Amino acid sequence: MTESPDPNMRRLMEAAEPDFTVVMSCVFGVNEHVTRTYVRLLDQPGSTVEELADALDRDRSNVNRALTTLLDLGLATRERRLLDSGGYVYQYMAVPLPEAKEMLKEGLDAWAEQVHGVIEEFEEQP
């Protein structure tokens, strides 16, 4: 029995012209909410979790998880801004699109190399 492909991979393979968010979701293994958060950060650099939650119409916990994923992948950065009233808030920035595209290409190339290796190692069953 063969394993069913990842839904993102299936969408990528079936699409004649895949959307950027589908490609990003597939290559990085993330859901489309994470990619939408990245795209929104490109448009609104320096956003806070609350601002992104409003812009994306998502609750703050979902946005927080998406931002943590983007930070872990190196697709976003954050800076702490002190508030006049005391305390601080984090502001998030997406890495520039050309850098993200390079990361996507590298990830896709690494995956393709791995698949080529699996194909080369495969032997016919008797």
Q: What is the pLDDT of residue 61?
A: 96
Residue 28 pLDDT > 60, yes or no?
yes
Distance CA 86, CA 83 (A): 5
Residue 5 pLDDT > 80, yes or no?
no
Residue 85 pLDDT > 80, yes or no?
yes
Per-residue exposure over 98-118, b if at least 16 CB sit within 10 Å of its own CB, e if not: eebeebbeebeeeeeeeeeee
Tell me the torsion sign for CA atoms 73, 101, 119, 31: positive
Name the pTM for this structure: 0.80
Of residues 29 and 69, more confidently modeled: 69
